Amino acid sequence: STEGSDDNNGSYEYPFASIQHAIDAANDDDAVEISPGEYFENIVIDKNLSIGGNNEEEEITINGNQVGSTVRIEIQEMSDSIDVWLYGLRMINGRSDKGGGIFVSNARLEMEMCQVLYNQTAGQGSRGGGIYAFHSTVILHDSDVENNNTDDLPGLGAGVYAENSLVYLYDNSNINYNNSSSGSGGGLYATGPGTYLEIHSSYVYNNSSNQKGGGLYLKDSSHVYLFESNINNNDAVVQGGGVYLENNSYFSASDNSRVSSNTTTQDCFTGQGSQGGGLYVSQSTVEYYGGYIYGNSSADAGGAMFVTNGSNVNLSYVGMDTNESAEVGGGENTIGGAIGIVYDSEVNIDHCTALLNSSTSGGVGGLYAENSNVNISNSIFWDNPGEWNNESGQLIGSDYNVAYSDIQGGYPGEGNIDADPLFCNTSYYNLAENSPAVGTAQDGGDMGYAGVDCEPIYSANIESVEIFVEGQSAEFNISTDSDYDHFHWIIDYGETFMSNQTTTINDLSVGLHRFAAYLVNANHQPVSIQFVQNFMIQDTIDVYYSENFDDLDSMGLDDWGFYTNDYGWEINNESMQWSPTGWRVSQGSGDFAFAQDRNNSDASEDYLVMPEMNLSAFGQPVALEFFSFFTGSRVYPDSLPYGKTGGSNAPYNQANYPNMSEYGGDTVEDPLYIDAIPATLTGTTEGYTDDYNEVCPWDESGAPDVVYAFTPEQDIIVDVSMCSDGNQYDTKIYVYENYVGNLANTVHGTSACNDDFCQNSHTEWASFIDGVVLNAGNTYYFIIDGYWSNSYGDYEMVLLEDEGFVGHTAHVEISTDGGDNWEEIYQLSPSDQNIWEPAYIDLGNYASESGVLIAFHSSDQGEIGTGWAVDDVTILTAYQESEGFIVGSVYSEETGDPMSGVYIEAVSEDSSVYNWAISDSSGYFDMGVTGNKYYFFRASNEYGEYVDYFYVGGNETYDLGEIYIANNTTAFVEGWTSDWYTGQPLGGSSVLFVYYHDGETHTIEQSTAPDGYFMVQVPADHDYDMFIFADGYWAEH
């Protein structure tokens, strides 16, 4: 402790003052705990110790005070070795010729949550500004080596110098901002056949070298292995801005590792030139399997990579883009004997994409090769302009063997093509569904680095459509400048028609319709995207208001209102690609209004309000009609036609894991076991085999899977989530009940299987299953899988008890008082398909109202919703019969108990609608009727009856509440009147009932409906005379 004394005994109560005194007093394998504070020492460790903090949050700093290595770890006997663990320490301000921060020789050093900062080497033998390792092992966990310098010659390894040593970086460790001002290896310098560097999920960035190897310098048979790590923004003056290799060194990168934005700066005017902005490879080997090399630049040659002097380079599933050189080889420059090297190099490129690489001096943007062997297969080279020695194209020079590749400008070889690859975007090289590179690789797969990730892309297009409507028929004419044979067209997602047969359709119903068309060639193959235009069949109806949202935005939509409690409605014509649940509106040719969540926004009060309407001025009942795109809580159904990426890893190869030792989890016969739920389960699928597959909705091939098992003691409903950042690949999850193939059920009646539901910072395609039903005594197998053969890696599966499912809802509401009060008049039901559907709402109940506001209310219930889109909002003459409902509950007037088995019936006043129902055990009943009509209503049984007369509006649920049956006091007489001889109904005739009561004569009269029907309510328990009168007719009964 900084408040201790070296005269103390070193206990918690009486700590030492200096770290060195504690080390000297410690025995082998002891732990030295340090209290927070700054210690000005240069400590020497010569025994097995653990040294670090005692979990307090304040910093512990060891300041070397510029008088030697801050920490020196060594043992004099070379035959022995010591093991040291450092944790929670900052080691700063050391200065020595070797290892300004840490000098370690013939030892094993492991550091966790440590920092090696602002140290320096100077003088003869200047090596290892941050760490110098000689015949040692150095392991970093979540630790940083930064802002260290090597001054004076040779000035090697400003961050780390490793000679015949093992260096491991784990858990977001960083080698950054180090500078070799006099020599090479700004970040790490490795030399000797016994030197192996492994970099796992870590970074080497913003390091610099005045000579070679801004990020990494490897020589003399040293090795480096990258796993999901980045080497970026490093620079060197001469060669290898990111990585420099020479003299039989070896570089391996996999698992989506990246070499990016590295530079070499010396040009031919200021020196001998510089090569290899990303990598410089001389008499060495590179194996790069799955990842990116992008944005690197060289002031001379080889922006991405310079390969020379008999080197061997193998690139598989690597993307190379926007690399730049000043002279030759923006993408990759392979120069052998042509420049006087002893022997040639060999480069093998398979399933790679080289895109948008360039030479600023007008040289070679793609590949340049002489006197070397270059084999290219299943790859894409596009938009890499090149000219050199009277040659032009993507590949300049000689000795290329090219097959099954897409080379811009063409190149001889089996299976080669020269066609626009149709990239979805230039960031990840994904292909459109109709890309010529899809399915044309040698193995029947896709050329290039990435798979399909978007709908077809076409250069042809339909510019406009004229729709001629007459009565209930429509004719369609298109305008386009594109080449095509004819067009296919569809009305309302129905049958496909061909324009060379007809462009007219008849017998369309009144209301909104959807026309969709696309251009095709003579073989009926699409050559354009779909053009969509909505239209209206009016026939005998009037349109009073219409808005299609085209060419407008939220600010320019006159008299409409937009209200929200977080993130509201927008007007656009694009899919919601940022949707947290993956909801996409199928593309049309126009704008629409949509409400959609962004991340965790509370969008429960998103209102889109129409301009104020005076419905009474229209003189007749009107309706609201519009197109709706609403999927409710559903996402990614089986029918979804969109493609998706195969992920960024290279295809999984079980042979890469020959020493993987499994402790369960590979099959249902030998699973990992879940002790209890809730549970958070982490691990990796790497090293496991591909045993299982389910389609939901995507099939997969070749992804390894891990199996967990759980047997519940009681029934439980579980949510299965793989949405967190702990999932770093395109996941799939499914649950078997008792045996393989028997998918468990969910509370929604679906199978427990999901490929894509959510996204995180690593993947757009993470998985979630809501409400898996686990029944007591059964065994359930949770299979953690991937979408495609390159979908594997770290996972985190979270199992929680289900708290119920909240679905997105969509409502239409109305206000007649200026917006102070709102009444819901319609709730949208989620569509069973991803389509636009017309919605029709009768407004007849409000025909006498002025100052009417109509709102579209999208609600995500405060959760992550799936959104709602509307288009072509129209007010028109009411032309459909609206639904209505009558509900209530029947009770005994005598006892107050609910009455079951009561016969319920209702007949409209115009006799056009009749329906009936039976009350259930709770006395409840409901029945559907037609809205906007008056109804005679009766509930009856053998003891009595209840009768009523009321109006049911359009889309109204008329709630009678509690009704009570007493003794019968009334009755109904119904029937039809017709001509005896012809059978024709006698509408408008009179029906008269005469009865005697209390010595007086009483009459009840009613007219028949047009179809001759009548129903008359009369007092019960009387005798009646019935008379029927019509023109020319009279009858008595």
Kindly report which listed range (10-19, 712-721, 939-948) carries the lowest average pLDDT score. 939-948
Our measurement of the distance from residue 916's CA atom to the centroid of its chain's CA atoms, rounded to an integer in Å, reads 49
Identity of the residue numbered 873 = V
Q: Are 751 and 744 in contact (CB under 8 A)?
A: yes
Give the pLDDT mean for 332-357. 65
Q: Which residue in the block uniquely carries the two structure tokens 């003891």?
A: 943
CATH of 661-801, one of 1.10.645.10, 3.20.20.80, 2.60.120.380, 2.40.50.140: 2.60.120.380
Count Cβ atoms below 10 Å from residue 147 Cβ, excluding itself.
Answer: 20
| 1010 against 143, higher pLDDT | 143
Fold of 547-632+806-877: Jelly Rolls (2.60.120)
Which range, 640-649, 663-672, 772-781, is most confident? 772-781
Buried b (16+ CB within 10 A) or exposed e, 866-880: bbbbbbbbbbbbbbe
Q: Which pLDDT score is estimated for 44?
A: 97
Q: Which pLDDT score is estimated for 78?
A: 61
CATH for 472-540 is 2.60.40
pLDDT tens digits for range 503-524:
999 999 888 998 989 899 998 8
Is 0.85 surpassed by the pTM of this model? no
Q: Which CATH superfamily is domain 883-968 in?
A: Immunoglobulins (2.60.40.10)
Q: Which pLDDT score is estimated for 662?
A: 54
With CA atoms as reference, report the closest residue to 734 among 685, 801, 781, 698: 781
**Is pLDDT of 875 > 90?**
yes
Where residue 304 falls (left for φ over 0; alpha for ψ -120 to 50; beta otherwise) is alpha
Q: Which pLDDT score is estimated for 868?
A: 84
Q: Indicate the pairing of strand 592-595 with strand 131-134.
A: unpaired
Q: Which pLDDT score is estimated for 556?
A: 53
Q: Which pLDDT score is estimated for 952?
A: 87
pLDDT grade, residue 565 (50/70/90)?
confident
Give the pLDDT mean for 177-188. 95
Q: Report percent pLDDT > 70 for the chain.
A: 88
State the Cα–Cα distance between residues 1022 and 1001, nearest whole angstrom: 12
The domain spans of the chain are 472-540, 547-632+806-877, 661-801, 883-968, 972-1036
| 397 against 799, higher pLDDT | 799
Q: Which pLDDT score is estimated for 493?
A: 81
Give the pLDDT mean for 592-602. 71
**Is pLDDT of 5 > 90?**
yes
If you write DSSP's letter for every residue of 971-1010 in order, what string do you get?
A: EEEEEE-B-TTT--B-TT-EEEEEEEETTEEEEEEEEPPT
**Is pLDDT of 645 > 70?**
no
Tokens of 666: 């590979």
CATH for 972-1036 is 2.60.40
**Is pLDDT of 385 > 60?**
yes
HSE at residue 586, side-chain half, CA atoms within 13 A, is 23
pLDDT grade, residue 471 (50/70/90)?
very high
Q: Indicate the pairing of strand 622-629 with strand 837-842.
A: antiparallel
pLDDT grade, residue 200 (50/70/90)?
very high
State the Cα–Cα distance between residues 626 and 996, nearest whole angstrom: 58
State the Cα–Cα distance between residues 550 and 533, nearest whole angstrom: 11
Q: Which residue in the block uniquely carries the two structure tokens 């099959």?
A: 667
Q: Which pLDDT score is estimated for 342?
A: 33
Kindly report which listed range (86-95, 455-464, 487-496, 728-737) carries the lowest average pLDDT score. 455-464
Give the pLDDT mean for 206-216. 96
**Is pLDDT of 649 > 70?**
no
Sign of the alpha-carbon torsion through 660, 164, 155, 330: negative
Rg over alpha carbons for the chain, rounded to the nearest Å, is: 40
User: In this structure, what DSSP letter does residue 749 have?
Assistant: S
Q: Which pLDDT score is estimated for 633?
A: 54
pLDDT grade, residue 275 (50/70/90)?
confident
Q: Which pLDDT score is estimated for 643?
A: 36
pLDDT grade, residue 860 (50/70/90)?
confident
Q: Which residue in the block uniquely carries the two structure tokens 């190897």?
A: 213
User: In this structure, what DSSP letter does residue 40 have?
Assistant: E
Q: Which pLDDT score is estimated for 56?
A: 66
**Is pLDDT of 581 > 60?**
no
User: In this structure, what DSSP letter does residue 831 have?
Assistant: P
Mean pLDDT of the chain: 85
If you write DSSP's letter for every residue of 564-580 in order, what string do you get?
A: -SSS-EEEESS--TT-T
| 824 against 638, higher pLDDT | 824
E strands present in 147-248: 149-150, 160-163, 166-170, 174-176, 179-180, 188-191, 196-200, 203-205, 208-209, 216-219, 223-227, 230-232, 235-236, 243-246
Q: Which pLDDT score is estimated for 414?
A: 96
Kindly report which listed range (137-151, 596-610, 754-768, 989-1003) carries the lowest average pLDDT score. 596-610
Q: Are 875 and 638 in contact (CB under 8 A)?
A: no
pLDDT grade, residue 864 (50/70/90)?
low
pLDDT grade, residue 641 (50/70/90)?
very low
Q: Which pLDDT score is estimated for 760?
A: 82
| Helix, strand, coil in percent for the chain, rounding step 5 | 0, 45, 50
| 94 against 428, higher pLDDT | 94
Kindly report which listed range (168-172, 624-628, 632-636) carries the lowest average pLDDT score. 632-636
Give the pLDDT mean for 294-308. 87
Tokens of 487: 């067009």
State the Cα–Cα distance between residues 329 and 689, nearest whole angstrom: 40
Give the pLDDT mean for 718-734. 90
Tokens of 744: 């468990």
**Is pLDDT of 665 > 70?**
yes
pLDDT grade, residue 298 (50/70/90)?
confident
**Is pLDDT of 805 > 60?**
no
State the Cα–Cα distance between residues 400 and 611, nearest whole angstrom: 68
| Domain 472-540 and domain 661-801 have a common topology | no
Q: Are 178 and 205 in contact (CB under 8 A)?
A: no
State the Cα–Cα distance between residues 834 and 584, nearest whole angstrom: 8
Q: Which pLDDT score is estimated for 402?
A: 95
Give the pLDDT mean for 20-45. 95
Q: In what order do the strands lie in the sheet with 511-520?
A: 496-498, 486-491, 511-520, 531-537
State the Cα–Cα distance between residues 182 and 153, nearest whole angstrom: 6
Q: Which residue in the block uniquely carries the two structure tokens 């008049």?
A: 825
pLDDT tens digits for range 96-125:
999 999 999 999 999 999 999 999 998 888
Give the pLDDT mean for 3-27. 94
State the Cα–Cα distance between residues 626 and 837, nearest whole angstrom: 8
